[in-house]
A and B are shown apart, each in its own frame.
Chain A
């Protein structure tokens, strides 16, 4: 997993609430056996027109969105299915962080395992950031993981929660499986006790 320390980028505003994983990556793209290459199918049904051409009305297709690494999404982002293809597609497009007022449980857990940082902020901060970004698409936002802070327009600074272990793994670029494997002895004892 790629390390995450500090990220400064312009952002893509997607104000819709309850964006589910079927919108992030429709089920017909789940027949793959690889994690790579899903970025092109991100938000597919909103992003492309019937003939396969880009939908100019969709925010991801706007020139101002290109190169952005931060998505500002509406509440309850990532609800629905457990497909890890959702963070794979978001990362595949180039996102490294998502700012919202709330994330679905499984999506959040999947994101943290793919170097994609879910940043949960208060409704007030979210509203201010969303409006500012919609007004000025070039505005830079800085997300600093060591201090768990988000800095946006003048004077706007806030902190966000993250569990100590996920933070540690992101900062070091560690895979969680390594930690789990270190418990091999205790897992064996547990198994022996139970049989």
Chain B
């Protein structure tokens, strides 16, 4: 047999049918749904008189518009309340398991999938959310879909898909202290741009990727979409199996051994060809930060913002100028020392326990700078509990940060957690688009270490200066 890539193997395993001149009918092993992109899909099912084909392969959570204040202070606007209510009704009517607001298993969709063991190597996983690429960290083929496709999968457990091209992103070498998985993926976005991966599924390979733990691998795969690729994958290995073993929804006993045996085959064969390869040297990476209004507009934290003549074509120059105007920055200026107003630590990119531990390491024994509002938002109730058992919540609170309930929160600013016009934030989330964190808000994307360092100093700061002292 021809040598195959990891993507090709998972793809081949799931093709139900393929007619000439038609997209493949691809079987989906798991669909995750949430309140925002599912209502119209269920309405469609009702209009056509269809059922959910496999409720047992469908999991729902509430995360996008949920409040993160303590329960006593919950305020949900009427529209959000209606949307949450509709998810509850839909799940009940169609027999879908729901981790509702208030449930101890509730959390961000891309956090609870892996945490509860729904996410497994070799699965095809979809969700009406572009950061579904997160689950690729386990060697699953996972990608975001629109609401029409949510309905397709609810009705048939299948999707019509054209096969993507493959892009290998090889990251070799050892990360320096203070440089994290977030910096790897921001460096990739800066290198290939937000359109560089369009039409591709990325496979991340190389010694630096192998050295990452599962949570760090999720951070990397999560932002594949920010480089334009719908999916990012990492071949499963001992690190993957170690993470999954004993989790609620993974096979147990003899089934577990059989699963590991199967999963071990999920790697790109020697001699398999990728359509394209991009190489990064981990040992040369520094903490990254974005300066503009898309995740590809990023640089090493000690660098200066590009100048107009760094861009060759007119439309790129126009986009750059527009972003400078929005961000209130000058071409060629340094970002180190830039005053900030808000720090957001959370989102499906960086809200897991290792992210919180990293941030707590910087906060420990220090105080948040005066005038800086700092939100720490765990990705799930499990993570919240774990953090509290380790005393991380106390570290955050003593430093002057707000310790919140789980949810997407200020990453998408649908729940009342948002920036005010003109405010600058250092955020561990994934998008710095205009208005993403609140109308007029200005976002610098960075790692949890860099975000925590900014909270302490009130300025964009190289976290290594605080780690060493």
Q: Is the CB of A75 within 8 A of B439?
A: no
The residues of A that contact B83 with a CB separation of less than 8 Å are 31-33
Interface residues on B, range: 35 or more
Scan residues 116-173 of chain A and give those whose CB is less than 8 A from a CB of chain B: 163-165
- The smallest C-beta distance from B89 to any residue of chain A, in angstroms, reads 10
Complex: A14 Cα to B43 Cα, angstroms? 34
Q: Which residue of A lies closest to B40 (CB)?
A: A35
Known contacts A17-B316, A22-B431: does B158 contact A34 (CB below 8 Å)?
no
The residues of A that contact B152 with a CB separation of less than 8 Å are 176-177, 180
Known contacts A26-B439, A79-B195: does B162 contact A163 (CB below 8 Å)?
yes
Interface readout for A85-129 with B: 1 if CB under 8 Å, 0 if not?
001000000000000001111100110011000000000000000
| A74 interfacial by beta-carbon distance below 8 Å | yes
Listed stretches A2-10, A51-59, A61-69, A182-190; interface member: A182-190
| B381 interfacial by beta-carbon distance below 8 Å | no
| B228 interfacial by beta-carbon distance below 8 Å | yes
Complex: A113 Cα to B41 Cα, angstroms? 13
Known contacts A82-B130, A82-B144, A183-B158: does B230 contact A105 (CB below 8 Å)?
yes
- The smallest C-beta distance from B136 to any residue of chain A, in angstroms, reads 15
| B212 interfacial by beta-carbon distance below 8 Å | no
The residues of B that contact A27 with a CB separation of less than 8 Å are 412-414, 436
Q: Is the CB of A76 within 8 A of B27?
A: no
- The smallest C-beta distance from A76 to any residue of chain B, in angstroms, reads 4
Q: Is the CB of B434 within 8 A of A80?
A: no
Complex: A188 Cα to B120 Cα, angstroms? 22
Q: Is the CB of B146 within 8 A of A82?
A: yes
Q: Is the CB of A109 within 8 A of B39?
A: no
Scan residues 283-315 of chain B and give those whose CB is less than 8 A from a CB of chain A: 294, 296, 315
Complex: A103 Cα to B86 Cα, angstroms? 32
Identify which of B148, B412, B435 gathers the most chain A CB atoms within 10 Å of its CB.
Answer: B148
Interface residues on A, range: 35 or more
Known contacts A104-B198, A104-B228: does B315 contact A180 (CB below 8 Å)?
no
The residues of A that contact B157 with a CB separation of less than 8 Å are 187, 191
15 new A-B contacts at CB < 8 Å, known A106-B230, A164-B21, A176-B160: A22-B436, A31-B80, A33-B39, A45-B434, A74-B315, A80-B431, A82-B146, A83-B37, A87-B146, A106-B146, A177-B48, A180-B158, A181-B156, A183-B17, A187-B158
Scan residues 220-238 of chain B and give those whose CB is less than 8 A from a CB of chain A: 228, 230
| B447 interfacial by beta-carbon distance below 8 Å | no
Q: Is the CB of A82 within 8 A of B128?
A: yes
- The smallest C-beta distance from A65 to any residue of chain B, in angstroms, reads 19
Interface readout for B182-209 with A: 1 if CB under 8 Å, 0 if not?
0000000000001100110000000000
The residues of B that contact A76 with a CB separation of less than 8 Å are 194-195, 198, 228
Q: Which residue of A lies closest to B15 (CB)?
A: A190
Q: Which residue of A lies closest to B36 (CB)?
A: A30
Q: Is the CB of A177 within 8 A of B319?
A: no
Q: Is the CB of B414 within 8 A of A31?
A: yes
| B155 interfacial by beta-carbon distance below 8 Å | yes
The residues of B that contact A80 with a CB separation of less than 8 Å are 130, 431, 433
Complex: A186 Cα to B157 Cα, angstroms? 12
The residues of B that contact A109 with a CB separation of less than 8 Å are 145-146, 149
| A18 interfacial by beta-carbon distance below 8 Å | yes
Known contacts A163-B162, A180-B25: does B145 contact A18 (CB below 8 Å)?
no
The residues of B that contact A87 with a CB separation of less than 8 Å are 146
Identify which of B155, B160, B431 gathers the most chain A CB atoms within 10 Å of its CB.
Answer: B160
| B176 interfacial by beta-carbon distance below 8 Å | no
| A41 interfacial by beta-carbon distance below 8 Å | no
Scan residues 106-150 of chain B and give those whose CB is less than 8 A from a CB of chain A: 128-130, 132, 144-149
Q: Is the CB of B25 within 8 A of A186?
A: yes
| B82 interfacial by beta-carbon distance below 8 Å | yes
6 contacts between A and B (CB under 8 A): A34-B39, A80-B130, A83-B146, A104-B198, A110-B147, A187-B156
Identify which of A83, A110, A177 gathers the most chain B CB atoms within 10 Å of its CB.
Answer: A177
The residues of A that contact B199 with a CB separation of less than 8 Å are 105
The residues of A that contact B414 with a CB separation of less than 8 Å are 27-28, 30-31
- The smallest C-beta distance from B70 to any residue of chain A, in angstroms, reads 22
Q: Which residue of B lies closest to A1 (CB)?
A: B148
Q: Is the CB of A20 within 8 A of B198?
A: no
| B318 interfacial by beta-carbon distance below 8 Å | yes
- The smallest C-beta distance from B198 to any residue of chain A, in angstroms, reads 6
Complex: A82 Cα to B156 Cα, angstroms? 20
The residues of A that contact B86 with a CB separation of less than 8 Å are 33
- The smallest C-beta distance from A132 to any residue of chain B, in angstroms, reads 16
Q: Is the CB of B16 within 8 A of A183?
A: yes
